Structures are given as structure tokens and as C-alpha cells.
Structure 1
Amino acid sequence: MANEPVSVLFKLYCLTVMTLVAAAYTVALRYTRTVSSDLYFSTTAVCLTEVIKLFLSIGMLARETGNFSRLRNTIVDQVIRSPKELLKLSVPSVVYAIQNNMAFIGLSNLDAAVYQVTYQLKIPCTALCTVLMLNRSLSRLQWFSVFMLCVGVTLVQWTPAEATKVQVEQNPFIGFMAIAVAVLCSGFAGVYFEKVLKSSDTSLWVRNLQMYLSGIAITLVGVFMNDGPQIMEKGFFFGYTPWVVFVVFLSSVGGLYTSIVVKYTDNIMKGFSAAAAIVLSTVASVTLFGLQITATFAGGTLLVCVSIYLYGLPKQDTSKVDSNCESKQKLITV
């Protein structure tokens, strides 16, 4: 499966869908947090996202196992009767729950384009976690691209673009701090989950089930701890509109679809997708929220897009270079 040939059209399809989902999620979430005074509870949206992901994962596992009997046995043996594994996967569940809630806070206080660019700081954070937790190394070009990305994000935040069509009060500092927390959570949880996946032959969908079950329990605790009295008074679905349902749907599908993109495409395409999503978010913000683009914002965004592309370039195979040098040295000595 990993080496299965994939057509160019399918790769373009994956790129297009991933880009549209990322851009649409950011813009739609920003819209739902700024156009109405009757805001829905973000904690309930995060909880519903975990529930939908759970059912989608069960559907994918059913397809993988082939019949209901195998599906039931797999869930009983590897999920229900594996409390240690559930506990192990509760770690990224907690971290992802924090990350998702920080996304709502960030987009309540920052424009979608500013958020999309700044959120790319997850790349250096993930790189650092990869080096520390998985003992991998990065090339000089990748470290250079990380530095370039940090400069680009600094420019974006230095004199941020302003949106004029916003109906709620916002605090850019709180928004940036929320993104900082989300970035740290994204880097750690992603690398931790990858480490758990590669430490055994357990199916990806079984791991997802273990993580989402923990996630539902954790987010439910968050719902009642943060908004319990208000939810009891106004209802779990207070403030929900078709746009809010759309945001929950995008968040659910986007998380699962990313794993498909990673499986069948490569890092270069992921880089193009992230850069394209930034461009689309910026265009949408200009149209929907009256975003005023500054020179430093444009320059910073360009640096971020270029850095994403450079980071995704494949490493040079130094072993071949070394072997060629050794063979030339032998010829010279002969």
C-alpha cells in the first residue's frame, strides 16, 4: 500500500481538497466568532468534532476489517480491553483538546490571514520535537527555512493588517498567545502520536479510536468545567448555525484527510498546500472582513510561503555523494 503507484490526477485532487479544507476552516471559524454577539460555546464544538472523528474512524476500520464480526472483535480486543493503550493515547487527546480550543480563541482575536500565517510556527516546533523525541536530524536548508519562517511571522505580527468588518471586541495579544500555545501543542502531539504509531503494528484507525475515545471524555470534562452553568441555562447547542455545523464538519474531516494526504503524497505537496491555503485565506479576508494588507504583512507572508516550500524539499542523499568521492579517490590512488 505504501508503495502503491498513485496518479498525478489523484495527487492534484489531494492537494486541492486539503488546501480548500484548510482555508475554508480558518475563514469559516473566523466568521462564526466575529459576526454574532450570541457566540456558541467553543468547548461544545471541540467535543462534537471528537465524536464525529470517532464515527468516521469506525467507518474506516470497518472498511479495513471487511465485516462486522472482525470489526467487533478488533474494537473489543484492541480498544475496550486495552486500558493501557487508552491511557497512552490520552496524552495527545489532552494536548489536541487544548490546541483546538486555542484555535477558537486565536481566531476570535486575530484575522484569518494573520492566524494562518502565524500558525505556521508549528513547523519549527514540530522540527524541534522531532529532533528531541525521534532522534532525527534536519538539513541545513531545513534549519534555514525554519529561520526564514520565524522572520516572516515576525513581520506579519510587527504591523499586522487590520480588519474593518468585525462586530466583536478582539485582543491581538491574547490571539497571538493562543496561537503560541496551539503551536506548542501541535508540535508535541503530532510527534508523540507518530512515535506511538511507529512503535507497533497497530492499525492507524485503531489508534485513532483509542485517541478519540479519550478525547471525547476529556473534552466533555472541559465542556462542563468551563461552560457548565451557561450550558445548563442556554443549552448545549446554543448559538449553533449552519456555519457552525460547517466548521465542526471541516474540523472533523480535515484531521482525518490529512493522514490520507501524508500517505499518498509528499512533503513538497503539503508545503504547496499550506502556502496556497494562506493565499486563499488572505483573499477571503480582504473580501469578507475588509482586511487591509500592509507591506510588511505581504513580505512576511511571502517569506512564510517560501520557507514552507524549502522545508519540504527532500534531503540530498549524502551517502551516494560520499561513495562517489571514495570511488574517485580510489581511482586517483590507482
Structure 2
Amino acid sequence: MTLVAATYTVALRYTRTISSGDLYFSTTAVCITEVIKLLLSVGMLSKETGSPSRLKNAIVEHIFSSPKELLKLSVPSIVYAIQNNMAFLALSNLDAAVYQVTYQLKIPCTALCTVLMLNRSLSRLQWGSVFMLCVGVTLVQWKPVEATKVQIEQNPLLGFMAIAIAVLCSGFAGVYFEKVLKSSDTSLWVRNIQMYISGIVVTLIGVYMTDGQKVLEKGFFFGYTPWVCFVIFLASVGGLYTSVVVKYTDNIMKGFSAAAAIVLSTVASVLLFGLQITLTFASGALLVCISIYLYGLPKQDTTKLPRQEADKELKAKLIPV
């Protein structure tokens, strides 16, 4: 998860700023990602059901005969579509390392959504680490770092606004999807198929509204290179493993590998984009990494201490002197 997150960020930044050739349409890349996710999910559902007839029955039952479920999963589809497009906009205006650090604001956003939507509680240490993370992100954004090898004009404010929207989308959609997953025994891959079908429709509408005329003139796959295809592949795989993490742990846990991803992205940015590390950036990134580690520490079960003391007292009464 760490490797995919870091590689995706750096590769996307490369295709938007340094890669030679005509710039591709980010909206079509997001749409193709949804199509690949759908195909992969159908393949995994086929493996889970074990036979073509069972696969057909599952698709008919949960897709064609369940319009309400499709409508329910269209909510995270729309939100995720906005988030993915904002990632392209942000990485067109911010360095990969800055993006990777700032994007960790999704952790407090997810935590807040978890408290409000899933009725969970956070410890004092977790709330403290959330505050520390926000301070770290503020330091990173205080004095923008420079990338000497990037030749295009950038707008850091626009990039930060795009990240802010992506963070809000990530927090809400992730918790919403977790709630849907754990509210029934429906297969993870069925839920994915329901969401990706809605996602394809939503992203196609986005292509038409944003780049419709240009796509008709230049083609849907205009500007695609092997690097662009690699970015789309990483985005597709990322969507699937995120679903697995949400299913078998919880939505907040998927953010804990971010500390290592920050380090990898920073090293890659220095080598590829000529990123100049400042003291404020280094301090902020360190605070973010520490806060992520503290946030992931397991809660201490204080109920065990009184029980242990009670057991000692009971043993003392039973054992004769």
C-alpha cells in the first residue's frame, strides 16, 4: 500500500509536469480507471462464486434487480470522482512530496466522519496527534518549496484548494463506503461493482462537461503514453486494495502507511524534480509522520487494570498464610 501510494503520486506528477508530448485529459484517465476497476472486480467476483452460472445469478440479483443499492452506492461514486479529478489538479500545481504531506489531512477528516457517522470515539492521544498533524501540514504550506526541474507555470493556492476538496471527499466517501460494507453480508466485490458502474456514468458525464469538445476533436486517448497508462494502472489497483483494507480493518487504518510514503515521495521529488528541502518543510513532514504513528497506536484498555487488582486480592484471600 505504501509503495503504490508513493509511486502513484510521483508518476502522476511526472506525467503532468515533465513528461514530453501533448498533455492528456485527466477526466478520461479517471474514467478509464473506473472501467478497469469494474473489470477487475467482476474477475474477483467470478473467482469468489466459482462458476459462470453463480456469477450471472449474483450480477442479476445485486445489479439489475437492485436499483436501490445502485443508487446508494452512487453517492461515494460521485464523491470519489470529484476526489480523483482534484488529485490531478493538485499534482499539476504542487510537488509530489508537498501533496503527499498535505493530503494526510484526510486522517483528521476521516476521524471526524467516523465519530459522526459510525459513532466511534477517539482517545486523547489520537486527538492530540490530529492537532499535531494539522500543525505539520501548516508548516509544509508556510513557505512553498521549489522544484527546479519543473518548467510549467504552477498555482500553489489552486493546488492547495484542490487538496482540500480531495481531503473532504476522501473522508466522507471512505466512511460512507465502510458503513455500507459493514451494514450487510453482501460481498465486497459486489459492492465494488455497484459503485464502479455508477462511477463510470459519473466520470463520463465529467468528461462531457469538462473536455467534451476537445475530446471530440482530438480523441478520447489523446496524449496517452506508457507513463500515463502506468498511472491509470496504479490508480486502479489502489482503489481495489483500499476496499480490501476498509473491509477487513477500518477506514482510518489505511492512512497509517502514509509516513513511509511521504519519505519515498520526498526522495523521489529531490531526484526527479529537483525539490529543494527547506527547514519548515522538513519540520512539518516530521511532525506529520510522528502524528500518524501516534494516531495508529492501539488504545489502552483501562478495564484490565481493576480486574487484575481484584484477581490479586481474591488470590490473597484464598491462599492460606
Contact kept in structure 1, 2:9 and 2:100, CA below 8 Å: yes
Deviation at 1:167, TM superposition (A): 2.1
1:255 CA displacement: 1.4
Deviates more, 1:269-278 or 1:242-251: 269-278
Amino acid in structure 2 at the alignment position of 1:117: V
Tell me how far apart the structure 1 counterparts of residues 256 and 176 of structure 2 sit (CA, whole Å): 25
CA–CA distance in structure 1, aligned partners of residues 72 and 159 of structure 2: 31
1:219 offset after TM fit, Å? 0.5
Asked if residue 283 in structure 1 is aligned to residue 267 in structure 2, the reply is: yes
Q: Which residue number in structure 1 is paired with residue 30 of structure 2?
A: 46
| Structure 1 CA distance for aligned equivalents of residues 243 and 45 of structure 2 | 14
User: Are residues 1:180 and 2:178 paired?
Assistant: no
Residue 67 to residue 274, structure 1, CA distance change in 2 (3 Å): same
Matched, 1:31 2:31: no
Corresponding residue SS for 1:109: coil
Gaps of 5+ in 1: 1-17
1:125-184 CA-to-partner distances (Å, cap 9, x unmatched) read 000000000100001111111011001101100012111111211100000000000000
Distance across 2 between alignment mates of 1:96 and 1:65: 27
- Does residue 1:55 correspond to 2:39, yes or no? yes
Q: Distance in 2 between matches of 1:103 and 1:333?
A: 65
Which residue does the alignment assign to 2:95? 111
Distance 1:149 1:58 in 2: 38
Residue 314 (structure 1) aligned with residue 308 (structure 2)? no
SS of residue paired to 1:170: coil
**Could you tell me which residue of structure 1 aligns to residue 52 of structure 2?**
68
Residues 193-216 of structure 1, C-alpha deviation per residue, up to 9 Å, x if partnerless?
011111111011000000000000
Query: Separation in 2 of the partners of 1:136 and 1:74?
Result: 33
Corresponding residue of 2:204: 220
2:16 alignment partner AA: R
Pairwise CA distance, 1:41: 0.7
Q: Which ranges in structure 2 are unaligned for 5 or more consecutive residues? A: none
- Is residue 2:106 matched to residue 1:122? yes
The match for 2:177 is 193
For residues 47 and 287 of structure 1, what CA distance do their matches in structure 2 show? 31
Question: Is 2:261 aligned against 1:274?
Answer: no
Separation in 1 of the partners of 2:171 and 2:313? 43
Q: State how many pairs are aligned.
A: 317
Cα contact 2:148–2:274 (8 A) shared by 1: yes
Hey, what's the Cα distance between the residues in 1 that align with 2:208 and 2:309? 65
The within-5 A match list for 1:14-29 is 18-29=1-12
Q: Does the 8 A contact of 1:163 with 1:290 survive in 2?
A: yes
Look up the equivalent residue of 1:87 and give its one-letter code: L
Distance 1:98 1:333 in 2: 65
Alpha-carbon distance in structure 2 between the residues aligned to 1:58 and 1:267: 23
Distance 1:223 1:120, change over 3 A: same
AA aligned to 1:80 is F
Q: 1:267·1:313 contact (CA, 8 Å) conserved in 2? A: no
Distance 1:86 1:271, change over 3 A: closer
In structure 2, give the amino acid aligned to 1:45.
A
Give, in whole Å, the separation in 2 of the partners of 1:270 and 1:195. Answer: 15
Contact 1:267 / 1:312 at 8 angstroms: preserved in 2?
Answer: no
TM-score (norm 1): 0.90
Deviation, 1:317, is 1.4
- How is 1:71-82 mapped onto 2 (pairs within 5 angstroms)? 71-82=55-66
Distance 1:327 1:321 in 2: 10
Matching residue's letter, 1:89: L
* Deviation of the 1:319 alpha carbon: 2.4
Which residue matches 1:251?
235
Contact kept, 8 Å, 1:271 with 1:309, in 2: the verdict is no
Task: Give per-residue Cα distances to partners, 1:268-296, cap 9 Å, x unaligned.
Answer: 98566211111010000001100000011
Aligned with residue 126 of structure 2, among 142, 155, 177: 142
2:107–2:255 CA contact under 8 A, matched in 1: no
* TM value normalised by structure 2: 0.93
Which amino acid letter does the alignment assign opposite residue 32 of structure 1?
A: T
How many angstroms does 1:331 deviate by? 9.1
Given that 2:62 and 2:190 are in contact with CA atoms closer than 8 Å, whether structure 1 keeps it comes out as: yes
Number of the residue aligned with 1:9? none
For 1:115, give the aligned amino acid. Y
Q: Report the AA paired with residue 297 of structure 1.
A: F
Change (3 A) 1:196 1:231: same
Aligned-pair Cα RMSD in Å = 2.2
Letter in 2 for 1:214: S
